[in-house]
Amino acid sequence: MTEILRWQARLEQELKRRFELSLALLFSDMVGSSSYFQRFGDAAGRQLQQIHQDLLQAAANQHGGRVVDTAGDGVFLVFSDSARALAAVQQVQTQLSERNLARARPHQLQLRMGLHWGRVLSDGQSVSGEAVNFCARVLASGEPGEVRLSREAFQELPAAWRVQCRPLAPTLLKDVAGAVELMAFDWRDRSIFPTHVLIGDAKEPQVLPLLDIISFGRLREHEGVPANDVVLSHVDPMQALQISRWHFELRRGAQSMVLRALSDSVTLVDGQPAPKGQDLPVRVGCRIDVAHALSLRLLAPLPCHAPDADQTLVSLSRARLDLAAVAAAGPRPGEIPAGLQRPGS
């Protein structure tokens, strides 16, 4: 038995010597695919899956990555470094945004993505190891539309990519002891694209969903499914009726955002009328007036710039404050002051 144990140790060392290496691991998963298949059928669902796989394959080819697996609704890829992986993520998200704007709102493709850097075993085809399992858990912890990075993946990034990441609150992952530090990758310019909306006299802003088309209106549900992403209401029932069931959409492109009015009822953007069916540019700080009944303000947190990983991640312990005073709009119009940001906001 002693000799067998010695041979086992030698084989393990040889396995690591020949097949162990460090890679950037990226998982991508379709959000809401099961309900989409049930609602629209197998053909439409399979088409959405194919779009997902084709976007990831093209990005891998462009940035020196490799698709390892496409099981189910997910895609697993590897890259030689985290910067290449994030460049692929940005390409996928940009192209997906352009495609989504040409598709009806119920047929939008939304992804959840997770990135990790770690040691794995690979023979050039398969990739395995605890780092792969950890990356899958990073993915599973993400919100719809979110791109999450582990601390290890973030530390491998050059400064130019780090400034596009923001710290999240310490997160519990399945089968991982203790909370872990994760980052979110904001591939869009947060000085242009709002992340929150302050509605009427509300004390706190509401987080905007990470969708390419975000609908606003009075109607909460239609035919058993949510009718609007942001439901608009008013304490006065008569004023509430002035708001259309579907009033307007915010449409996020890769480089800009527009408001498209869906109603003949009045919609103003910074005092300018928004005719039904036409697009008006909007950005952080814009005021939207809905049917002379309700006003909205588009907001975003101040950017968090940090030259290194430790400085960025230490802000996790400092970002524990309330958004209650956000109506003041902060140092720049439409931005949530840094001291009023919540972790992950």
Greater pLDDT, 324 or 204: 204
pLDDT for residue 334: 62
- In whole angstroms, give the CA distance from residue 192 to residue 170: 27
pLDDT for residue 310: 52
In the DSSP assignment, the letter for residue 37 is: H
- In whole angstroms, give the CA distance from residue 65 to residue 61: 6
Contacts of 75 (CB under 8 A, 6+ apart): 27, 28, 29, 52, 53, 56, 67, 69
What is the length of the chain? 345
Query: Mean pLDDT, to the nearest integer, of 273-280?
Result: 95
Confidence check: pLDDT of 19 > 50: yes
- In 3-state terms the chain splits into helix, strand, coil percentages (rounded to 5) of 30, 30, 40
pLDDT for residue 317: 37
pLDDT tens digits, one per residue of 298-324: 998 755 444 454 554 444 333 333 333
Which of the residue ranges 19-23, 113-117, 230-234, 256-260 would you say has the lowest mean pLDDT? 19-23
pLDDT for residue 300: 87
Query: Mean pLDDT, to the nearest integer, of 104-127?
Result: 92
Question: Confidence band (pLDDT; 50, 70, 90) for 189?
Answer: confident
List the one residue out of 61, 73, 173, 72 whose CA is nearest residue 116. Answer: 173
Percent of the chain topping pLDDT 70 = 83
pLDDT for residue 20: 84
Confidence check: pLDDT of 3 > 80: no
Please, what's the b/e burial string for 201-211 (b: 16 or more CB within 10 A of its CB; e: otherwise)? eeebbeebebb
Angle, to 10 degrees, between the axis of helix 82-100 and the axis of helix 42-62?
140
118 close to 25: Cβ distance less than 8 angstroms: yes
295 close to 289: Cβ distance less than 8 angstroms: yes
Cα R_g (the chain), whole angstroms = 23
Residue with tokens 């379709």: 30
Average pLDDT, the chain: 86
First vs last Cα of the chain: how many Å apart?
57
Greater pLDDT, 3 or 29: 29
Tokens of 304: 């968090």
Query: Mean pLDDT, to the nearest integer, of 134-144?
Result: 95
Burial class (CB in 10 A: 0-12, 13-18, 19+), 4: exposed
pLDDT tens digits, one per residue of 223-256: 888 899 999 999 999 999 999 999 999 999 888 9
Question: Confidence band (pLDDT; 50, 70, 90) for 177?
Answer: confident
Confidence check: pLDDT of 85 > 80: yes
Question: Confidence band (pLDDT; 50, 70, 90) for 104?
Answer: confident
Contacts of 11 (CB under 8 A, 6+ apart): none
Confidence check: pLDDT of 345 > 70: no
Distance of CA 130 to the CA centre of its chain: 25
Confidence check: pLDDT of 30 > 90: yes
Query: Model's pTM, two decimal places?
Result: 0.81
Percent of the chain topping pLDDT 90 = 71
Query: Mean pLDDT, to the nearest integer, of 325-340?
Result: 48
Angle, to 10 degrees, between the axis of helix 42-62 and the axis of helix 33-40?
140
